[in-house]
Structure 1
Amino acid sequence: MSVFAAAIDNLFADPNIARDATYIASGGAPQLIRVVMRRADEVTGFRDARLWSETTRIDLRVAEVATPRPGDRVEIDAEAFNIQGEPVRDRERLVWTVDLRPA
């Protein structure tokens, strides 16, 4: 295991950073995973306008979810979300970042 993989495992194990969630692939069985929440606001520029929107993003470990797809479901603290858009992996190929929308 690389130093980076060990660090990611430690981050996802930390109860102050990560939380439990349920991942359900389209047509698949529920799977308990750990996620890191990112509920940051996003400002998007469009010509001269700046649009503000709330976003919900999470990080998933590639070791737990090998191929997340748009439409897959994530349940966190009794809230259900669907993955929207294409997930993006980090440089080390250890973590997926996915955008969510309420289900």
Structure 2
Amino acid sequence: MPLAFESALELLFADPNIGRDAVYIADGGAPVLVRVVARRADAISDFADARLWSETTRIDLRVAEVPNPRPGDRIEIEGDAFLIQGE
């Protein structure tokens, strides 16, 4: 990874307005303190003749901290728990 890009990512994760402390728990593993960027945008999906609104949360992790996240692993941010559903 180019140094400039890596430095920019480090700044984003370190920024207190963007990055958050979290606990990553691999399925059956020990808790690990990590830094994450959480995006909580609403999603609108079409289903037949209806439009469905749902809250979504997408969480970015650094590969240096979590090299192999898997579905079933958990992330806890400020008391809220999120289950990894995809990569």
Normalising by structure 1, we get a TM-score of 0.76
Give the corresponding residue for 1:61. 62
Identity among equivalent positions (%) equals 69
The unaligned stretches of length 5 or more in structure 2 are: none
The structure richer in strand per residue is 1
**Counterpart secondary structure, 2:84:** strand
Q: Which has the larger radius of gyration?
A: 2
TM-score, length basis structure 2: 0.89
Q: Partner of 1:62: helix, strand, or coil? A: coil
1:97 corresponds in structure 2 to none
Please report the RMSD computed on the Cα atoms of aligned residues, expressed in angstroms: 1.3
Counterpart-to-counterpart distance in 2, 1:10 and 1:65: 18
After TM superposition, give the deviation of residue 47 of structure 1 in Å.
Answer: 3.6
Count residues with an aligned counterpart.
86
**Which sections of structure 1, spanning at least 5 residues, go unmatched?**
88-103
Divergent runs of 4+, >3 A: none
What is the deviation of 1:63? 1.4
